[in-house]
Amino acid sequence: MSEIRHDWTKEEILEIYNKPLLELVYEAATVHRKYHNPNEVQVSTLLSIKTGGCPEDCAYCPQAARYHTDIETNDLMTVDQVKAQALRAKSSGSSRVCMGAAWRNVEDGPEFDQVLNMVRTINSLDMEVCCTLGMLSESQAKRLAEAGLYAYNHNLDSSEEYYKEIISTRGWEDRLETLNNVRKTNVTVCSGGIIGMGESIEDRAGMLLALASLSPQPESVPINALVSVEGTPLEEQQIVPIWDMIRMVATTRIVLPSTTVRLSAGRTEMSKEGQAFCFMAGAGSIFAGDKLLTTPNPDVNEDMELFNILGINPMKPYAKGAKPTPLPQEEMTPSVDEKVKWSRPGHRIEKNVEATKKANKKRKEAI
């Protein structure tokens, strides 16, 4: 039976990943039943509160300003707009709302104050509230915690080695620093990655090794299948085989046994049977709603139909942790100008450069 370890080796993780599939799923299902209720899955809603215009060059992302995609950019939503969306999500069975903003990093000021009010508002609806806002300083993490944030998402994306093939505008160490800043508060950590970006199986194992080595391990790990979007450097990538997703979910479950494994992007390409296999292998969360930030997602009614077929119940909010109690506004830590210097590696990633040139050409032709 698996136990929580922080001393995994890449070779051990690869050995697990490459086991005969049915043996792998059986082992993962056994671990899942030790640490989790196999008949409960959390339903979460991912809401893009500020869309597009991001200065990063992440090869998978349609929100990068340098690429030419068809997404509609939007300024930061109002608190009332977010509250309405959260109430809609709650009525559909979601117990968590994750708010995403297309920022490189959080900057103190009116927009961050607005996000803090959003956090406080969703917390008051008795829903878990998660944010993914980019890189985060220690004091910013503290202010989010004081507002009632339950979780902060900041994905490692891939292994440290393959990360350099996907992103040149921020460093791997900045990802770890952000997670470390979150850990200095009572906010839980959500960090995972994407498969299907052209990485090797060794890279997948490397990402899990990095996550498992954190102490404590993340409370949740999203496993995303790349959704290739026209105009991004990865637009030609093939759909991830469902068997790869099942293997990745199962391996994550064994290596990080107490963590909630989140079956995230790419579910529109998965059959009901494939998703059921993922639940058996240890997935304990899905994102509901017709969009995951900017990419398609199954309709919530389809998800509830699948839950009924499988006998799965949506998890209640705060099933795995106490509800945070926000501080009164007047007791919140005041904003400080920390002048955090996040890295900009700036190395050349040929496919990202070519996608940028292609986008610039399209923009000139449109003038």
Is residue 131 annotated as part of the catalytic site, yes or no?
no
Examine the residue annotation and report whether 278 is marked as an active-site residue of this protein.
Answer: no
Query: Per the residue annotation, which of 96, 120, 130, 247 is the catalytic one?
Result: 130
User: Per the residue annotation, which of 61, 204, 253, 278 is the catalytic one?
Assistant: 61
Residue 175 catalytic? Answer: no
State the catalytic residue, choosing from 183, 262, 267, 278. 262
Instruction: Write out the chain in H/E/C secondary structure.
Output: CCCCCCCCCHHHHHHHHCCCHHHHHHHHHHHHHHHCCCCEEEEEEEEEEEECCECCCCCCCCCECCCCCCCCCECCCCHHHHHHHHHHHHHCCCCEEEEEECCCECCCCHHHHHHHHHHHHHHCCCCEEEEECCECCHHHHHHHHHHCCCEEECCCECCHHHHCCCCCCCCHHHHHHHHHHHHCCCCEEECCEEECCCCCHHHHHHHHHHHHHCCCCCCEEEEEECCCCCCCCCCCCCCCCHHHHHHHHHHHHHHCCCCEEEECCCHHHCCHHHHHHHHHCCEEEEEECCEECCEECCCHHHHHHHHHHHCCEECCCCCCCCCCCCCCHHHCCCCCCCCCCCCCCCCCCHHHHHHHHHHHHHHHHHC
**Of 183, 190, 204, 253, which is the active-site residue?**
190
Q: Among the options 96, 98, 204, 278, which is catalytic? A: 98
Instruction: Return the active site residues.
Output: 54, 58, 61, 98, 130, 190, 262
